[in-house]
Amino acid sequence: MADDRSPVPDADVCIVGAGPAGAIVAARLGEAGHDVVVLDAGPRFDLDDRTEQLDAHLRPGVEETTRGDGEAVDGPWGMGGERDAYTSSGSKGYPLNAARVKGVGGSTLHWQGMVMRLHERDFELQSRHGVGTDWPIDYADLRPYYAEAEAELGVAGAADNPFAPPREEPHPLPAFPPSHSDSIFAEACESLELPMHSVPNARNSEPYDGASACVGYGTCKPVCPSGAKYTAERHVARAEAAGARVIDRAPVQRLAHDGERIEAAVYATPDGTEHRQDARAVVLACGGVENVRLLLLSASDAHPDGLANASGAVGRYFMDHCFAGVGGRIDRPTRQNHVGFNTSECHALYDAVDPLPGVKLEFLNYAGPSPVSEALHADDWGDSLLDSLRESYGTHLAVGALVEQFPRAENRITLDRSTTDDHGNPVPDVRWSVGPETRAAIERVNEVQRAILRELDAEIDWAVGPDETGPAFHHMGTTRMGTDPDESVVDPDCRAHDCDNLWIAGSSVFPTGGAMNPTLTIAALSCRLADRLEDWL
């Protein structure tokens, strides 16, 4: 059946995108008895190939072609080439294909897996501080769905964060204990009044949901061979077990509609044919860039600026989280690169501090070089290689941070009609810049990061500040949620204002993005969307 990419008759719901946003909706609606079909542009990756992908990641020269169509691609997940062509025209370049994965599982295939709730202020930025915009829902609305999302993702966490929003239920799994280097940072952070707390991880600290506990490969990003890190493949499997049909390598070309309702998702298959998947409802869940592109590609006389774009907001307000960091070395072992995830962070700089953009501090467990990788790239060997590895490994420390961007209309996704993809469609253009308020917040957090390292008498050897910052690969804001159809694309239920049977899942509906990794909120909104859509069906 894997090669059968024909449409499903009488589908209730067609979901475009098999990442976490779409897969959770698919699993929930499938289990509720609805006929669900999921279309994904990328391939299905075999779980048995994960160690080979690890090999390809660590070992220079190992072929990384996992896509099967003969195109030159990058990384273990086969991004790149004509299929994934894009342009980047903003004042800050945007490496889009490093920032996403197309395929069953979506970007959870390569993500790191940090899953924290947004803070209450994130939903009320305009009301509280006069910047950005408010969400049309608040933390209380989303709170029960956050708990459901934590169960869906198998979050390992603890209730030790004094800055976190209120919660009743414990996380489904115990938090990973702090690292040795966390204990080094704790001394400095205590004197600077920066309380450290655990990181909620979508990574099994114990076996969960049929998957292994973490075994410490240390390569979470970009590939977890043990299956301990959550990927949306778990929800795809659940959806398929409930009868859903998941069709891979089936990029949707446009949404055919009569002006008011979508009639079909028109998709291509590797044999060069086009198919129409009819459904009573369509859920767009292909990320903050491709959701936009598909709406713009579906323009018609009734929707001349793109489907569901009467507001003109489709593609606008593109936000990411900006990275800021400082690293250095101290005169004692820091025990880095045993695992590929973080165990401690600090939200002390998040709420109502000056500058206003939220900041999440991260204490890295993977600062400095990994000896294996360094050895494989060295131009030396024998005793002198060992000497240089001993010199370069063992005493590094680094404090990172995610910094909030406020929504800015000029940061946007559009179509670049001068460039086409492998199906002749215009490619996405990413226009991204870092605003002055975010630059100020990055400068401020750099000062804090330097202060932490100075407390430890570290020799600081690198910093990522406002000029060097880059994106954390969280695509938010481009189909924003709101109550006013003139200002927003979807309503508070995530249904399009301008199209009766179109729903949008994922972080493209976030009106603001805070500075928390978005996937737990994506999952919570998908749980909520599935409830609302089920009522609608």
Partner 1 sequence: MNLSRRDALAALAAAGAVGTAGATVLGDEGGADADSSLPDGTLATLVAVAETVYPAEAGGIEPFVETYVTGRIVNDPAHREGVVTAAADLDATARDWVGAPIADLDRSARDRLLRDLSVDVADPDPDGNLAARVRFYLVNELLYAFYASPTGGRLVGIENPTGYPGGTESYRRARMEDEDG
Q: Give the footprint of partner 1 on this chain (CB under 8 A).
A: 50-52, 54-55, 58-63, 176-180, 183, 205, 213-219, 225-226, 333, 335, 337-340, 343, 365, 370-373, 375-376, 379-383, 385-386, 389-390, 393-394
Judged by beta carbon, residue 273 or residue 384, the one nearer partner 1 is: 384
Judged by beta carbon, residue 214 or residue 434, the one nearer partner 1 is: 214
In the complex, least distance from residue 232 CB atom to partner 1, rounded to whole angstroms: 23
State which H helix or E strand residue 267 sits in. strand 262-268
Judged by beta carbon, residue 50 or residue 321, the one nearer partner 1 is: 50
DSSP state of 458: -
Cis peptide leading into 428, omega within 30 of 0?
Answer: no
In the complex, least distance from residue 181 CB atom to partner 1, rounded to whole angstroms: 8
- Do the beta carbons of residue 198 and residue 189 sit within 8 Å? no
Classify 364 as helix, strand or coil. coil
Write down the residue that tokens 């889009």 correspond to: 96
In the complex, least distance from residue 215 CB atom to partner 1, rounded to whole angstroms: 4
Closest-CA residue to 25 (of 34, 253, 261, 278): 34
In the complex, least distance from residue 180 CB atom to partner 1, rounded to whole angstroms: 5
In the complex, least distance from residue 159 CB atom to partner 1, rounded to whole angstroms: 20
Question: How far apart, in whole angstroms, are the C-alpha atoms of residue 87 and residue 441?
Answer: 28
**Chain centroid, CA 232 distance in Å:** 12
**Chain centroid, CA 396 distance in Å:** 27
Distances in Å between the Cα of 320 and the Cα atoms of 209, 356, 391, 468 are: 31, 16, 36, 15
Judged by beta carbon, residue 177 or residue 312, the one nearer partner 1 is: 177
Judged by beta carbon, residue 163 or residue 393, the one nearer partner 1 is: 393
Question: How far apart, in whole angstroms, are the C-alpha atoms of residue 509 and residue 505?
Answer: 7
Write down the residue that tokens 């469609």 correspond to: 425
Write down the residue that tokens 């179109």 correspond to: 502
Angle between helices 139-153 and 519-536 (to 10 degrees): 100
Judged by beta carbon, residue 34 or residue 329, the one nearer partner 1 is: 329
Judged by beta carbon, residue 213 or residue 242, the one nearer partner 1 is: 213
Judged by beta carbon, residue 382 or residue 424, the one nearer partner 1 is: 382
In the complex, least distance from residue 270 CB atom to partner 1, rounded to whole angstroms: 25
In the complex, least distance from residue 196 CB atom to partner 1, rounded to whole angstroms: 15
In the complex, least distance from residue 523 CB atom to partner 1, rounded to whole angstroms: 24
In the complex, least distance from residue 346 CB atom to partner 1, rounded to whole angstroms: 19
State which H helix or E strand residue 246 sits in. strand 245-247
Judged by beta carbon, residue 337 or residue 405, the one nearer partner 1 is: 337
In the structure encoding, which two tokens stand for residue 478, read together? 């481009």
- Do the beta carbons of residue 265 and residue 39 sit within 8 Å? yes
Q: Is the dihedral of CA 278, 247, 28, 289 positive or negative?
A: negative
Question: How far apart, in whole angstroms, are the C-alpha atoms of residue 336 and residue 3?
Answer: 44
- Do the beta carbons of residue 119 and residue 347 sit within 8 Å? yes
